Structure 1
Amino acid sequence: MRTNYLILLLLGIVLGSCKNEPEKFVVERPEESRFTKVTLVERLDEPMEFEVLQDGRIIFIERKGKIRMFDPTTGLVTDIGAIPVYFEAEDGLLGLAKDPDFYNNHWIYLYYSPQGQESINRLSRFTLVSDILDPDSEAVLLEIPHFRGCCHSGGSIEFDSKGNLFLSLGDDTTPFESDNYNPIDERPGRPENVDAQRSSSNSNDLRGSILRITPQPDGTYSIPEGNLFPEGTPNTRPEIYVMGNRNPFRISVDPKNGFLYWGEVGPDAQSDSLRRGPRGHDEVNQAKKAGFYGWPYFVADNKPYWYYDFEKQESVFAYDPAAPVNHSPINTGVNLLPPAQKAMIWYPYADSEEFPILGSGGRNAMAGPVYYHDLFLASDVKFPKYYHGKLFIYDWMRNWVFTVQFDENGDFAGLEEFMPTTQFDKPIDMQFGADGALYVLEYGTYWNSQNDDSGIYRIEFNPGNRKPIARGSADVRQGAAPLQVQFSSAGSMDLDGDNLTYEWDFYGDGSSTSREADPTFAFDRAGEFNTILTVRDPSGLQSQAVIPVAVGNEPPVIQVNWQGNRSFYWGKPTLPYQVDVQDKEDGFISENDVVVTWDFLEEGFDKIIAEMGHQQTESSGQLLGQNLLVKSGCNACHGLENASVGPSYKAVAERYSANPEAPKMLLQKVTNGGAGVWGERLMPSHAHLKEGDIIQMIDYVLSLSPQSAVSQKNRLGISGEVTLDQHRTQGTYLLTASYQDKGANGIPPILRREQLVLRHPLVLAANAEYFQGTAKANFENSRLVKFTEDKSYIGFERVDLKYVGEIRLSIDPNRRTGWFEVRQGRPDGILLGKSEVLSNDLRSEAETGKWFEVSIPIENSSEVTDLYLVFQTETGVDIWGSFLLKTVYFDGRN
């Protein structure tokens, strides 16, 4: 009897543990590996908004006018309707929402730009009949004037739990003629769309606001209580819930408390102006009640703009957020506006001082849903309670997703990035489905284009057993037959700690297999094969890794012979080089088939080019330009061959390649922005980009023309001399050798490249490759590294120590005492040098607060190795960090 009791007790403990396992994710943040991003459908044509139905079907719209439905049971998409729309610039079919009683009345609401000569946007209700849009069922709720051919249409639709419809509307204003500050041009005879005071700060105009109305069964609407201006207030529109918006592109409503959230796409000014106003910021806003949110008089946390007289080109006064006044001659509303409300979150192009976790770069802020765990039935994919009450926000340009935590009053309490290592391609809408999973609509890379990387995805949460992760590698993946390959399953893992089994299928057809974790296999026939590694856990869950192996063509071997240091340069020497190329199948190699280029990059070397493909005639400088275009977000508006918002890169190259003044002219164009060359489409200023980066981008674009000499201008022979004389203070030289063989035994040609990268010996500490126990900080226009604990370090990748005699550090001890050790290979590797013990006591009173240099002699070495600077202290650290490190100088021996 006692034995049976113990068995039952043990069984109860086991079952109870299984049942309560998800409860640990009430306060504990789930690992990213517990989320899976599942592809539902891809290759959409400018998707804009979607609705996830209770049965898992998804209705979504595309900007050119299609209404479509995805069926998860078949995996297919069908067109269920189409509306003729004007889809130039930012207009088209923009917004979609289902009626709160959709499953009984089958109503959906669309916000769109109707075809025709009339410049309006329209909010209408339609009926789905047997899941097909009935075009004759249209009931027009609102028509809103909108200047066609430019900017800021907004168009997001959401319902709250009380049946009120929210509609976001942009300010319908051209931003570029106001130097990217606040567009308030009041000069007589100017187009109205250069003055946002006629819309965003006009209480009698619906544009530049978020409306709240209650649709009625007869196709009309009523005004709910609590909007910004009560019905009957002279010179106001009662539909307005919040005003003072620039471009509230995506909105959401908290399903429990009714709070409104939206992302505000902000202006483009790159810097604060003493007499114009603040630089541009994007915002994420919260409205607990109706209010005025500042535009075009304030931005971010009510940073004020100045009233600027465009006629006299004078700044007259800064606006007062407590009592903003609209005196525009084309204002038809009240003059005195409600007090301006601060943004909840705001960030510029550069790193944000208030919200540094959001990073830097292009920006398009959007607001997603608030998650409540108790609103969804139990399911295998439902999000955990950890996210209960949190808002999901996202940025279309930066491709990140964050969650926002609130305190007991519903006020901002913190940010946390969601799935930081997962790729999002221009997220444009998201919502939770009835299953409690997060559905994400992604627009894809290029604006105004059908993108292969657009799609609808479901993010599922798994609180229990997770699939193992398969990772496979091979020591060689190309070569002549017979080809012996050492395979490895290193990196494969089971996040739940289960033991794994391995199965290798070498040819990919089941003819040759192995169950070893790290087998060796000899391929005895030529061909291209996909070797498959399958890993399984004890429950049968499995995942696979595929390793392509090409047998029959030995890759070429390139050697760059160089007498100097292979990492740094000192002075302006002239040095010889020699490139040797060997290929097993090709035999004799003509010098003309080897491409050797010599480039100088004034702003430094962006290492992402090292992973990108290239053509035989491309120079490394052009590769950098190509990568910078991607990194800067330019591909959102331009395609390689197809026009998008702007012209294709090849069209630009063909127009300008023969013009010797083109690089200078295009530099000004990209920096300042503007319109007119390619029609009325407007390009914003890109002054936030480094001039050297813009020059590299322009060089790449111009090289795409067949008539261009850019691709040949830096080409050298396979041997000779180069002089490092183009730098003034900084810069990077690149000697690149490329050879593409002729292919053999049915295997395509193989391209190989060797690159010698020579940089200035003065390196920012913040540009190191490895960091541990440190933090990066901005101080006095410099990027610094703080050492925040004992044995914290920074590390530099593959440093050539040949001719390096000492390392000089520019530091500020910051009230603490410590020293640095230089170590080879690892943070605990061979000790190459050690500084004296450093503290503020080493400095005179006159030097306090200044940076001073510390020299560390290092032992003679010809190694190319990872190099670590390890900080050690016996006095502890404080919240400000122990030491600040600004630069590292690798000093060469004479």
Structure 2
Amino acid sequence: MTFRILKTSLAAGALAGAVALTSGWKAITPQAMPVWPVPADTTNRPDENRFTKVLLSNDLNEPMELAVAPDGRVFFVERAGKFYMYDPVQKKTRLLYDFPVKAVDKYLNGLLGMTIDPNFSKNQFLYFFYTIQEAGQTRQRIARFRMNADNTLDVASEKAIIEFPIDLEVSAHTGGSMAWDARGNLFISTGDNTVPFESSGYAPIDTREGRLTFDAQRSAGNPNDLRGKILRIHPEADGSYTIPEGNLFPKGMAGTRPEIYVMGCRNPYRISVDPATGYVYWGEIGPDAGTDGKQGPRGYDEINQAKKPGNYGWPYFVGDSKPYHAYDFATKQIGELFDAGAPVNRSPFNTGMTNLPPAQKAMIWYPYNKSDEFPQLGVGGRCAMGGPVYHFDPALKSSVKLPAYYDKALFVYDWMRNWVFAVRLDAQQNYQSMEAFMPASGDFRRPVDLEVGPDGAFYMLEYGSVYGIDNEDARLVRIEFNAGNRAPVAKISAKDTIGLAPFQVAFDGSGSRDFDKGDQLTYAWQFEGGKVGSTEASPTYTFKKNGIYKVRLKVSDPHGKSNTDTLTIRVGNTMPEVAIKVADNSTFFTPAQMPLSYTVSVNDREDKVIDPKRVKVVMNYIPKVGNEPIVGHQQLSGSFSLGKSLIAGSDCKACHQIAAKSVGPAFVDVAKKYREDKTATAKLANKIIVGGGGVWGEHAMSAHPQLSREEATEMVKYVLSLADQPVENRIAPKGTLVLKEHVGKEQRGRYVLTATYTDKGTVYPLTRTDALILRPNRVLGSEADVIHNLDRQGKRLGSIHHESYFVLKNIDLKGIDELTYRYSSQNRDATLNVHLDSPTGPVISSFAYSATGSWDKYVEASTSVQAPAGRHDLYFVFDKPQPPNQHLFSLEWIDFHRKGAGTVSEVKAK
């Protein structure tokens, strides 16, 4: 999800498109194709713990594409122009050359792709796809260079193989991937170079005068243009190229380019060619519409397969050739649906022939929402990538090659959703099934390229967590498979890790484990220094001197495999004690202004005199955001905001940060912009769901139709709350405060009083914090911490039966002697008992209520409560043993108050 951002694009021009690939317009003779067996049963799937991601190079900046040489050297490029080589012998990464590319603004063009020649071992040729600007014209160039014997790039050897102009003002859809077939033909992917942001997420076919860059018919739908295509050429030794037989259009055909193998692409960002069949695979990042509309279908990303040349439909079709309507952007008139069997390009910007080859369907297609055809692909942002077909070689001597289980599987991945899938094809090479690859342990960080190395392992470039910036987690990794003995997993635990000398610690290594059955583990503990201090599984050790110790446990199996874990032990200090005490109730505040008398006490075993400067006491009032309750004597955590939790679990963080700009605006900036807009919550919630743009620049925000209106609203509430982050209001360690910030506001906020002390720490300082959180004395039914045999129904609780109960945890009832319920009950009289600490604990309140006559008729009724000392979990248990005893009650809220003080409603009325 994003607030006005580039959909799910990688290099804003680098990622964003939609295309399809399956069969072609005219037949050619394919390479000799073996008959594949049906894929192995998934019951034979290797254990996921046999796969390991090995970090080869990190601290990258927008990595794009990689290629692995036969000798194991890994070459890769960054969008800004840097060309690197990872040396597997020295295990180091070297910068070989910094291309003077045209990396327009922060997201567009640059050094987009690279590949190595199929005969690299002999000719040392490499190919690069990059943006140049000469004589006032911007072009995409595919050029060949030679590597020198000393692992340097021979810059003077450059041969420009093929070039084509682009419209520079379009910050989207560049393609940039390259791949080879077994005949030495080079495939090149190019994007449609079209502005996608002013067609409401549907087909960009704006043919008005002056709208050239808003019409993909001039590029992807134009047989005489190299953009929005997959090209196929044969590079020659002198740096020129020839056209292989069997491309989509024969050489010399009027209104066409013979280099075109596939047309009708939006942005085929990553492509691959199966060396055994010659079939082409790629992913298309689709358009942004979140729902079907009058202009045509919602957006879909696609995984495509071209068994032969063909037209894959964009901008007239998407997904499985779902047609768009012809649309007049001037009059807003809807025309006829385009015909997949005979599409016609009538755009005045079309320089090629008018009648196009028939459109081909995608092999796999999926929207933002759950796909009916491919539900396992999930929901959310989309950025499909086409990966390699893996061929298992039993003769390859490699300890890291993927297993035979994945033989003939096509691997595809999604930059936004961070998954990799293995796609199974049948004997005719048609889609059969798919399964997630490393779903539990992959921890993929926006995979942007995936290749099979000569050792049979996977090599992956991970772009990093946030789009368009220098990510700390951008990296090159190798994914290895271990078919033999696996290393054990070491695990240390200890109850106490901080204390005074002599400090005795009981260590426990029994949590260590081995994945190979029957392996007996041995243990080697190092407590101080490098000597082994114990070989027991769970030893006890006494540290006699003050200091910080890194205890190390090495666990070994009988076959020589080992693993280590460490635990820090701090000797010479103990944690300080910090406590906040209040004279009155420590759970609730009331609707009216109220005084709060408090005292902060600090004790430290080592600090005989407490320095008041080291005691920090802060009071803040935080408006409640979301529906998640905060109760009890606990520290604030991220669970305070449902909206924050929803954002954390979405694709928002790919394009937004809290305070820093990425491809989308910082959330803080969004909050400040809409601070005074009373319609912002509903307006932005709608934009999250349906997508849109026009506020923060040229990059559009993708749709999120999988979100409910309530979820989108909570996300917006959290973002807007960032404009009013609480300031640090330091106060004295003892005093009386008047709580008044909540008066006149919605009674859902929290007062948070925190006290922190950092001791002097002669060896190391320790910090302890205590927090007091005061909530409104009116508690909504939906804010129950635990429910049993009942349902949350908006802000209420319902579907309540005999022995149903709900729980409010860690409640202080000091000063509370009355509970007021707002409830309805159609035709059941029953009793609601409040028990302490369990459903059968002591009863401190009993409410024998009468039916109200209708579920829609809510009344308020009060009953007494006996306040115990201290804090307790309150169990509200419904009791009606005799039938009918179903559907007893609907609870809107409970007020906790003193008799005579009035309920929240009565106080507000005054």
TM-score over 0.5 for the alignment? yes
C-alpha separation in 2, matches of 1:200 and 1:685: 22
C-alpha separation in 2, matches of 1:339 and 1:863: 71
* Residues 663 and 699 in structure 1, CA contact (< 8 A), matched pair in contact too: no
1:750 alignment partner in structure 2: 767
Query: Is 1:371 matched with 2:395?
Result: no
Alignment map for 1:320-469 (pairs within 5 Å) = 320-374=339-393, 377-422=396-441, 423-469=443-489
Q: How much is the aligned-residue C-alpha RMSD, in angstroms?
A: 5.1
* Residues 25 and 385 in structure 1, CA contact (< 8 A), matched pair in contact too: no
* Residues 628 and 641 in structure 2, CA contact (< 8 A), matched pair in contact too: no
Amino acid at match of 1:170: G
Query: Is 1:712 matched with 2:727?
Result: yes
* Residues 589 and 774 in structure 2, CA contact (< 8 A), matched pair in contact too: no
Shift of 1:391: 1.1
1:163 alignment partner in structure 2: 184
C-alpha separation in 2, matches of 1:527 and 1:626: 40
Alignment map for 1:137-216 (pairs within 5 Å) = 137-149=157-169, 150-190=171-211, 192-216=212-236
Amino acid at match of 1:360: V
Amino acid at match of 1:139: K
Amino acid at match of 1:457: V
1:96 alignment partner in structure 2: 114
* Residues 646 and 681 in structure 1, CA contact (< 8 A), matched pair in contact too: no
Query: Is 1:535 matched with 2:555?
Result: yes
Aligned residues: 771
Alignment map for 1:237-316 (pairs within 5 Å) = 237-269=257-289, 271-316=290-335
2:65 alignment partner in structure 1: 49
Amino acid at match of 2:725: V
Amino acid at match of 2:117: D
Query: Is 1:694 matched with 2:721?
Result: no
* Helix, strand or coil at the partner of 2:559: coil
Shift of 1:162: 1.6
- Going from structure 1 to structure 2, the CA distance change for 1:25 and 1:114 (only over 3 Å counts) comes to same
C-alpha separation in 2, matches of 1:403 and 1:569: 56
* Helix, strand or coil at the partner of 1:594: strand
C-alpha separation in 2, matches of 1:368 and 1:552: 55
* Residues 627 and 642 in structure 2, CA contact (< 8 A), matched pair in contact too: no
Normalising by the residue count of structure 1, what TM-score does the alignment of the two structures yield? 0.74
Q: Deviations over 1:527-556 (max 9, x none)?
A: 333222211112221101122333444445
* Helix, strand or coil at the partner of 1:449: coil
* Helix, strand or coil at the partner of 2:485: coil
Q: Deviations over 1:563-609 (max 9, x none)?
A: 9999x9999999989786645247476898233445444434499xx
* Residues 324 and 336 in structure 1, CA contact (< 8 A), matched pair in contact too: yes
Shift of 1:85: 0.1
C-alpha separation in 2, matches of 1:383 and 1:323: 44
Single out whichever of 486-495 and 46-55 deviates more from structure 2.
Answer: 486-495
Shift of 1:644: 4.8
Shift of 1:213: 1.6
C-alpha separation in 2, matches of 1:570 and 1:201: 66
* Helix, strand or coil at the partner of 1:514: coil
Q: Which has the higher helix share?
A: 1
C-alpha separation in 1, matches of 2:589 and 2:891: 12
Query: Is 1:34 matched with 2:50?
Result: yes
Amino acid at match of 1:128: M
C-alpha separation in 2, matches of 1:574 and 1:286: 69
* Residues 222 and 353 in structure 2, CA contact (< 8 A), matched pair in contact too: yes
Amino acid at match of 2:101: V
* Helix, strand or coil at the partner of 2:715: helix
Amino acid at match of 2:618: V
Amino acid at match of 1:160: D
Shift of 1:379: 1.4
Shift of 1:384: 0.9
Amino acid at match of 1:66: K
Query: Is 1:127 matched with 2:146?
Result: yes
- Going from structure 1 to structure 2, the CA distance change for 1:310 and 1:493 (only over 3 Å counts) comes to same
- Going from structure 1 to structure 2, the CA distance change for 1:660 and 1:405 (only over 3 Å counts) comes to closer
Single out whichever of 332-341 and 54-63 deviates more from structure 2.
Answer: 332-341
C-alpha separation in 2, matches of 1:357 and 1:466: 30
Alignment map for 1:628-639 (pairs within 5 Å) = 631-637=649-655
- Going from structure 1 to structure 2, the CA distance change for 1:505 and 1:564 (only over 3 Å counts) comes to farther
Q: Deviations over 1:588-637 (max 9, x none)?
A: 76898233445444434499xx99xx9xxx99699988877665445544
Amino acid at match of 1:684: M
Q: Deviations over 1:366-405 (max 9, x none)?
A: 1111111127613111111100011111111222211111
Q: Deviations over 1:744-786 (max 9, x none)?
A: 2242453646586989876799x9999xxxxxxxxxx9xxxxx
Shift of 1:486: 3.6
C-alpha separation in 1, matches of 2:808 and 2:125: 63
- Going from structure 1 to structure 2, the CA distance change for 1:121 and 1:663 (only over 3 Å counts) comes to farther
* Residues 579 and 770 in structure 2, CA contact (< 8 A), matched pair in contact too: no
1:85 alignment partner in structure 2: 101
1:111 alignment partner in structure 2: 129
Normalising by the residue count of structure 2, what TM-score does the alignment of the two structures yield? 0.73
C-alpha separation in 2, matches of 1:91 and 1:134: 23
Amino acid at match of 1:593: K
Single out whichever of 738-747 and 756-765 deviates more from structure 2.
Answer: 756-765
1:855 alignment partner in structure 2: none
Shift of 1:460: 1.3
Shift of 1:649: 7.2
Q: Structure 2: any 5+ residue segments left out of the alignment?
A: 1-38, 789-793, 795-804, 814-818, 824-835, 842-865, 877-888, 897-910
2:616 alignment partner in structure 1: 593
- Going from structure 1 to structure 2, the CA distance change for 1:590 and 1:77 (only over 3 Å counts) comes to closer
2:850 alignment partner in structure 1: none
* Residues 219 and 228 in structure 2, CA contact (< 8 A), matched pair in contact too: yes
Q: Deviations over 1:25-75 (max 9, x none)?
A: 996111111111111121123221111112211111121222221111111
2:802 alignment partner in structure 1: none
1:544 alignment partner in structure 2: 564
* Residues 738 and 754 in structure 1, CA contact (< 8 A), matched pair in contact too: yes
Amino acid at match of 2:520: N
- Going from structure 1 to structure 2, the CA distance change for 1:209 and 1:513 (only over 3 Å counts) comes to same
Amino acid at match of 2:208: R
C-alpha separation in 1, matches of 2:695 and 2:646: 25
Provide the identity percentage.
40
- Going from structure 1 to structure 2, the CA distance change for 1:524 and 1:430 (only over 3 Å counts) comes to same
Alignment map for 1:471-486 (pairs within 5 Å) = 471-478=491-498, 483-486=503-506
- Going from structure 1 to structure 2, the CA distance change for 1:581 and 1:169 (only over 3 Å counts) comes to farther
* Residues 555 and 741 in structure 1, CA contact (< 8 A), matched pair in contact too: no
Q: Structure 1: any 5+ residue segments left out of the alignment?
A: 1-22, 703-708, 771-780, 782-794, 809-823, 833-859, 868-886
Amino acid at match of 2:337: A
C-alpha separation in 2, matches of 1:755 and 1:319: 64
Larger Rg: 2
